[in-house]
């Protein structure tokens, strides 16, 4: 049985793009490279690669080497009338069965048998989402019961150990020591 069939946390799909586009093409597999990110992806590197961040300071460490979105978000958005598919919102890894947004900063995720990434923070949704479908940016923002802004567009991570990752690979979650630090935008 596959992880999906047993309800375990798993990789649903993987994506990469050599150019700075919002959507990333779906792949049969990707290679995560220690200290860099997704091999062949425009956002791979030791320093920031997102254009707005490069303009501010190109020497800033790249805490956004790997972008993950939970497939459950895509399903939620489709129920709300948005026509979104995996990879379209810029993620490298689409997960299933992991509550990504509740993970604390510093959580380590093993993807498949070798790759290990460390969660650095939340993805801050950008206005490029409006190019996919009007209203999408607002749809990935919410408020909690205390009125605090909730960003639902995924999380960011850095690669600690290289490895190949593909659909169906198991995801193992290793929480950091207490006290946990909540995710904030990176």
Percent of the chain at pLDDT > 70 equals 96
Q: Are strands 93-96 and 66-70 parallel, antiparallel or unpaired?
A: parallel
pTM: 0.94
Instruction: Tell me if 153 sits within 8 A of 89, measured CB to CB.
Output: yes
Sheet holding 163-165, edge to edge: 37-38, 30-33, 163-165
Lowest mean pLDDT: which of 3-7, 19-23, 109-113? 3-7
Does an H or E element contain 37, and which?
strand 37-38
- Side-chain-side CA neighbours of 2 within 13 Å: the count stands at 11
Instruction: Tell me if 168 sits within 8 A of 14, measured CB to CB.
Output: no
CB atoms within 10 A of CB 44: 21
Could you report the per-residue pLDDT of 62-119, keeping only the tens digit for each? 999 999 999 999 999 999 999 999 999 999 999 999 999 999 999 999 999 999 999 9
pLDDT of residue 1: 46
CATH topology for 3-174 is M1 Pyruvate Kinase; Domain 3 (2.40.33)
Counting every residue written for the chain, the total comes to: 186
- Give the DSSP letter of residue 30: E
pLDDT of residue 5: 53
Could you report the per-residue pLDDT of 111-147, keeping only the tens digit for each? 999 999 999 999 998 889 999 999 999 999 999 999 9
Q: Does 178 score more than 90 pLDDT? A: yes
* Distance (Å, whole) CA 186 – CA 181: 14
Q: How confident is the model at residue 51 (pLDDT cuts 50, 70, 90)?
A: confident
């Amino acid at each position: 049985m596959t992880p999906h069939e047993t309800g375990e946390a798993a990789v649903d799909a993987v994506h990469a793009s050599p150019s700075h586009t919002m959507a990333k093409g779906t792949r049969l597999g990707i290679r995560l490279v220690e200290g860099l990110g997704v091999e062949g992806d425009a956002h791979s590197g030791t320093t920031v690669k997102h254009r707005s961040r490069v303009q501010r300071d190109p020497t800033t460490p790249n805490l956004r080497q790997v972008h993950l979105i939970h497939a459950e978000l895509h399903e939620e958005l489709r129920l709300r009338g948005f026509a979104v598919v995996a990879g379209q919102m810029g993620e490298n890894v689409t997960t299933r069965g992991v509550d990504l947004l509740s993970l604390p900063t510093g959580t380590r995720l093993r993807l498949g048998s070798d790759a290990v990434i460390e969660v650095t923070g939340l993805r801050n949704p950008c206005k490029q989402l409006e190019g996919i479908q009007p209203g999408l940016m607002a749809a990935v923002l919410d408020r909690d019961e205390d009125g605090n802004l909730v960003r639902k567009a995924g999380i960011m991570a850095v690669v600690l150990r290289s490895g190949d990752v593909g659909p169906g690979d198991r995801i193992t979650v290793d929480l950091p020591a207490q006290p946990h630090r909540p995710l904030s935008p990176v």
